[in-house]
């Protein structure tokens, strides 16, 4: 492939990835209302854009192997930089997901899942630290990575390093991308299916990237899979927020879609400020037992994370999904009031606040 064609491909994937991050931020800002309320996983995905940018730049500098002897040293330096930035971007996105899982997974009586999540986080951190620590040891001194005349083949092929990264990347992708999907608290089965498909694709591109490094180390084929892997990871990490942004945009046009049936997050609301939470009909606890409601918990895949209500009923503690109820006012039009009342669940009719 000609370098100009690869440049168009790689920068297109980069633009797609950055666009996904921007769409996530738009969704989060519309939900949270202020950039100061962005959470740690939001800032982590923003931070990942920095090495992602450097990765695409260094990939384009590395792609053309037909360089003159004068430019070989520079190209080898870019090859080393590409490896560092690709690993850093990948592990930052994994960190973003693990932070998000920490926030949305129930934390009441399910301590075993929390401990498992902690173990996965420690394993991912240890894997990244190990790959970074051993990278300079495979080729000593490290400057031989960009020394064209070195006799150490590992310095130019990254063979041992790629075997380690393949093992670490495969296991961490399974632990952070694929296996947790079944436990994500979301009512959207289509979202879970999409995430599972994306997670499988991320795993496949990761294996292919390292396969081409091992089999064809002097061919630039692996660079295609480097950029594809990172872009798919960004899509995976931002897909729930994109679905929320889509449903919000559709509702803004006065239309109804299936996604809109799930409640929106209302962060930072004061009691009586227009919205309140009600236990769903048919849950393990009734609305009358909601006196023991604990803190709200977030749920993946709503228009922003939706809350769970921790409720104790007959000695049993459960996380019960909540729906958001609007308080009507005299300023609302008759049409808005009628639509709101028709959309109410029968269990909530007795809890409707009077028009003020």
Question: Which tens digit of pLDDT belongs to each residue from 229-268?
Answer: 999 999 999 988 886 676 666 555 555 444 333 333 333 3
Judged against a pLDDT cut of 80, whether residue 338 lies above it is answered with: no
Cα within 13 Å of Cα(203), Cβ side: 17
What gap in Å lies between CA 198 and CA 192, rounded to an integer?
Answer: 10
Average pLDDT over residues 205-221: 91
Task: Average the pLDDT over 299-316 and give the result.
Answer: 52
Q: Is the pLDDT of residue 105 over 80?
A: no
Mean pLDDT for the chain overall: 76
3-state secondary structure of 68: coil
Name the one residue in this structure whose structure tokens are 């509702």. Answer: 251
| Residue 270 pLDDT greater than 50, yes or no | no
pLDDT at 27: 86
238 vs 218, residue with greater confidence: 238
The number of beta carbons lying within 10 Å of the beta carbon of residue 114 is: 15
pLDDT of residue 65: 63
Q: What percent of the chain has pLDDT over 70?
A: 64
Q: What is the pLDDT of residue 334?
A: 58
φ/ψ of 110, rounded to 5, equals -100, 60
Q: Is the pTM of this model over 0.85?
A: no
Residue in this structure with the two tokens 């041992």, named with its chain if needed: 160
Lowest mean pLDDT among 10-24, 147-161, 176-190: 176-190
Is a pLDDT exceeding 80 seen at residue 165?
Answer: yes
Percent of the chain having pLDDT more than 90?
39
Q: Binning pLDDT at 50, 70 and 90, where does residue 33 land?
A: confident
Among 243-252, 275-284, 319-328, 336-345, which stretch is predicted with the lowest mean pLDDT? 275-284
Task: Write down the pLDDT at residue 17.
Answer: 95
> What are the C-alpha distances in Å from 90 to residues 11, 229, 238, 337?
17, 8, 14, 48
Can you list the domains of the chain with their CATH numbers? 3-251 (1.20.1070), 262-351 (no CATH)
Strand partners, 313: 316
């Amino acid at each position: 492939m000609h370098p100009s064609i690869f440049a168009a491909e790689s920068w297109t994937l980069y633009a797609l990835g950055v666009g996904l991050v921007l769409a996530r931020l738009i969704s989060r800002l519309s939900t949270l209302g202020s950039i100061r309320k962005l959470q740690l996983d939001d800032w982590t995905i923003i931070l990942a854009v920095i090495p992602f940018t450097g990765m695409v730049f260094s990939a384009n500098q590395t792609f053309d192997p037909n360089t003159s002897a004068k430019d070989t040293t520079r190209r080898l330096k870019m090859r080393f930089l590409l490896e560092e930035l690709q690993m850093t971007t990948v592990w930052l996105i994994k960190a973003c997901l693990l932070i998000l899982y920490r926030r949305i997974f129930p934390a009441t009586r399910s301590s075993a899942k929390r401990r498992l999540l902690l173990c996965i986080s420690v394993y991912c951190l240890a894997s990244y630290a190990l790959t970074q620590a051993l990278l300079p040891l495979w080729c000593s001194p490290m400057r031989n990575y960009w020394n064209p005349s070195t006799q150490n083949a590992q310095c130019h092929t990254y063979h041992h390093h790629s075997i380690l990264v393949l093992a670490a990347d495969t296991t961490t992708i399974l632990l952070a991308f694929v296996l947790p999907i079944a436990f994500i608290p979301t009512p959207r089965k289509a979202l879970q299916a999409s995430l599972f498909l994306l997670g499988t694709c991320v795993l496949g591109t990761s294996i292919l990237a390292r396969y081409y490094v091992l089999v064809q180390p002097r061919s630039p084929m692996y660079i295609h899979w480097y950029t594809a892997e990172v872009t798919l990871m960004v899509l995976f990490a931002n897909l729930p927020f994109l679905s929320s942004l889509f449903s919000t945009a559709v509702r803004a046009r006065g239309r109804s879609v299936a996604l809109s049936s799930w409640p929106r997050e209302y962060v930072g609301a004061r009691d009586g400020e227009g919205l309140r939470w009600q236990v769903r009909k048919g849950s393990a606890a009734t609305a009358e037992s909601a006196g023991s409601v604990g803190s709200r918990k977030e749920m993946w895949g709503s228009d922003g994370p939706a809350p769970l209500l921790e409720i104790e009923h007959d000695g049993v503690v459960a996380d019960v999904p909540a729906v958001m109820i609007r308080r009507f006012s005299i300023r609302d039009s008759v049409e808005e009031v009628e639509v709101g009342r028709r959309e109410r669940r029968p269990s909530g009719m007795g809890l409707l606040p009077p028009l003020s």
